[in-house]
């Protein structure tokens, strides 16, 4: 009996490996941002299966065009990755260069899409999306983070699926809860706004009168501590709180030390009777 050992031709191994890499790359990017619109300055890699001579790394020009072998100038700006792949494949097939070409487009670097960071941050301005998975925390870090006068929340606005989008995000929860649902992925054209933190005012027989930031769940007692406490002439029992209500009227309240401080509260410490 003659034993015959089946062998796979080395060329077939290379074909199979290339095919696996090709579809793995497509699946990877399909799970990230399949609807990402290509913009001016984006760096992309174009590969055509079994045609390594058509592999090209290029940058999208300011008017949204690229120059590709055999095809020439081709506009891809504003197209999603899948749309750009189809447009290149159609041009190769329509020009009679390839039959049913399988095109894979990989986004290497985002430059054309920017995010604006405004408000109470160290370096407000416009920042490029360097990667496809840039999140709110990444962009805040690029802007130097929120200032001491900044609020604990940020407002992210933009568009998703062609519709206006707005989301309020609690900054500490991004790091405390480590929730990716909170630390959302940004898209080109988004705006991050850090509002000025709410303040309260204290005057009268306080050691340090003035305006102070309201910390989370701050009580009247904590507010007194922010002002350095009561002077020797004042009394904690003679506190008056002036608070503005939704109807616009300001009411004078005699608060308890455990009451919560509200934005724009004015705390007045009266002199002791004795």
Say how far apart CA 251 and CA 265 lie, in whole Å: 10
Dihedrals phi, psi of 103, to nearest 5 degrees: -105, 135
pLDDT at 19 (0 to 100): 52
**Per-residue confidence in pLDDT tens, the chain, 274 aa:** 444 444 555 555 555 555 555 444 444 444 345 567 888 888 999 999 999 999 999 999 988 999 999 999 999 988 999 999 999 999 999 999 999 999 999 988 877 678 999 999 999 999 988 777 889 999 999 999 999 999 999 999 998 887 899 999 999 988 887 666 789 999 888 999 999 999 999 999 999 999 999 999 999 999 999 999 999 999 888 999 999 998 889 999 999 999 999 999 999 999 987 6
Domains of the chain: 10-109 (3.30.1950.10), 131-194 (no CATH), 199-271 (3.10.560.10)
Distances (CA, A) of 245 to 211, 242, 252: 19, 10, 11
pLDDT at 128 (0 to 100): 84
Dihedrals phi, psi of 252, to nearest 5 degrees: -95, 125
Closest residue by Cα to residue 214 from 203, 204, 201: 201
Other Cβ atoms less than 10 A from the Cβ of 102: the count is 16
Is 39 within 8 Å of 129 (Cβ atoms)?
A: no
């Amino acid at each position: 009996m003659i034993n015959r050992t089946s062998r796979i031709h080395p060329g077939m191994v290379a074909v199979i490996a290339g095919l696996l890499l090709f579809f793995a790359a497509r699946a990877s990017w399909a799970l990230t941002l399949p609807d990402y619109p290509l913009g001016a300055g984006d760096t992309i890699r174009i590969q055509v299966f079994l045609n390594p001579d058509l592999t090209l790394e290029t940058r999208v020009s300011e008017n949204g065009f690229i120059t590709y072998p055999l095809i020439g100038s081709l506009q891809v700006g504003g197209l999603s990755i899948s749309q750009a792949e189809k447009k290149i494949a159609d041009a190769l097939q329509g020009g009679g260069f390839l039959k049913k070409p399988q095109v894979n487009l990989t986004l290497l670097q985002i430059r054309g899409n920017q995010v604006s960071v405004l408000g109470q941050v160290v370096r407000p301005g416009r920042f490029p999306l360097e990667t496809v998975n840039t999140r709110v925390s990444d962009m805040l870090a690029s802007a130097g983070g929120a200032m001491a006068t900044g609020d604990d929340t940020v407002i992210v606005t933009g568009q998703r699926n062609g519709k206006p989008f707005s989301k309020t995000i609690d900054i500490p929860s991004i790091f405390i809860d480590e929730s990716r649902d909170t630390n959302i992925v940004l898209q080109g054209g988004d705006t991050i706004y850090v509002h000025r933190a709410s303040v309260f005012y204290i005057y009268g027989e306080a050691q340090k009168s003035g305006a102070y930031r309201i910390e989370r769940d701050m009580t009247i007692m904590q507010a007194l501590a922010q002002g350095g406490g009561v002077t020797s002439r004042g009394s904690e029992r003679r506190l008056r709180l002036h608070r503005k209500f939704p109807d616009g009227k300001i009411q004078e309240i005699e608060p308890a030390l455990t009451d919560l401080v509200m934005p724009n509260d004015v705390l007045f410490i009266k002199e002791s009777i004795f």
